Amino acid sequence: MNVKWANRIEALPPYLFAEIDAKMDEMKAKGVDVIDLGVGDPDIPTPSNIIDALEIAARDPGNHRYPSYVGMLSFREAVSNWYNERFGVDLDPVTEVLALIGSKEGIAHTPLAFLDPGDVALVPNPGYPVYSVATTFAGGIPYDLPLLRDNGFIPDLDSIPEEIRNKAKIMFLNYPNNPTAAVSEIGFFSEVVDFASKNNILVCHDAAYTEIAFNGLQPPSFLQTEGATEVGMEFHSLSKTFNMTGWRIGFAAGNKNAIAGLGKIKTNIDSGVFQGVQYAGIEALRNYSLGLDDRRKVYEERRNIFCKGLDDVGLRYYLPKATFYVWFETPEDISSQDFTSRLISETGIVVTPGNGFGNYGEGYIRVSTTIGTKRILDAVERIKNFKI
């Protein structure tokens, strides 16, 4: 039997991190001691109070049945309370908060809710690949918002042509940013609100990294901006803040019509987040500062170690104020892909080529510091011996 793939997936490039995993497995099979700086998957264990909450909830038979599609009200109330405590934002937990099976799931389903075939989505480039892929799945057309060094990796909204503004229905943003680690100020978010309001564009802000920041910095929520809930919604994940990547829980918050639209997609596609995990999420959000500074210090130490190594070999980078990523430039006359291939072949170090996040990422490399500090030190020593 000839099983033919649908056109929508036939044209897709391999998912970036799946490709990296394949190369890593190949090197491991050769006996190479691989150091994986590729995927942003925290190595620090989930805090014990969150694990304890899951254990208690998992033993309750009442939590073994289908959960609510939109999330337990108690979980959504915990989200609302967290927004108020952390950002000073008031949200109605009934209409302005939606539980997600991780923020990736919500982001991937968003274009299905708001794009018709031929509609445009404004997507950052370089950016999280799901923004563009999900847009294509929905029959939409991704339009790149270049994130350039000279603009501090913030898009220039004034450069978007009028014909694109007229066709655009949604705009994805992400600050603190993956992959560049750039941080936005409230002033830029104010520009976004004005732009979205004038052009009737729904803002979809991916805020997964707001809690991983250094030197006392507290990155803002888009929803803090005056008028933001009139034009947008925000995605958060418990994965990065609480080291819960495998737990698959996050939430969307903001404009009630946008939340309702995304919720309608979800009721037809999934069956909600396991209630035991939601109870763990409640515990995490109620005690969100517990141990958070210690985790930030670990990432800050690793950032400093790796950046010192880049200094020693003369590679230019942008000192991250937030996230656990380092975004650095490749040497002249070598592409991101070639640098990545040579690095793993000659040193056993896995990094992510910048062009995997879009063509404007060419000439850059992203490193994730979500491995043990000793391994970061080992990686730095290998890079120092790498014949750049």
183-187: long-range contacts (C-beta < 8 A, 24 or more apart)? 183/213, 183/217, 183/219, 183/321, 183/322, 184/154, 184/219, 184/220, 185/220, 186/220, 186/224, 186/225
| Residue 14: both structure tokens together | 């391999």
User: Which pLDDT band holds residue 42 (cuts at 50, 70, 90)?
Assistant: very high
pLDDT in tens, 130-168: 999 999 999 999 999 999 999 999 999 999 999 999 999
Based on the domain organization, do 326 and 198 belong to the same domain? no
Q: Is the pLDDT of residue 203 over 90?
A: yes
Determine the structural domain holding residue 167 and report its residue range.
48-286
7 domain residue, yes or no: no
Domain count for the chain, please give it: 2
End-of-domain residue from the set 238, 255, 286: 286
Alpha-carbon gap, residue 48 to 25, rounded angstroms: 32
Supply the pTM of this predicted model: 0.96
**Each residue of 304-350: pLDDT tens digit?**
999 999 999 999 999 999 999 999 999 988 999 999 989 998 999 99
In a domain, 2, yes or no: no
- Note whether 207 and 353 are same-domain residues: no
pLDDT the model gives residue 17? 66
Q: Percent of the chain at pLDDT above 70?
A: 98
Domain finish residue from 244, 268, 286: 286
Let me know whether 41 and 187 are in one domain.
no
pLDDT for the residue 7: 85
Give residues with Cβ within 8 angstroms of 181, minimum separation 6: 318, 320, 321, 322, 323, 325, 326, 327
Which of 271, 286, 301 marks a domain boundary?
286
pLDDT tens-digit series, residues 138-148 = 999 999 999 99
Evaluate if residue 23 carries a pLDDT over 90.
no
Q: Supply the CATH number for residue 332's domain.
A: 3.90.1150.10
Domain contains 369 = yes
- Asked if 376 and 305 count as a contact pair (C-beta separation under 8 A), the reply is yes
Q: Where residue 56 sits, what CATH number does that domain have? A: 3.40.640.10
The single-letter code of the amino acid at 8 is R
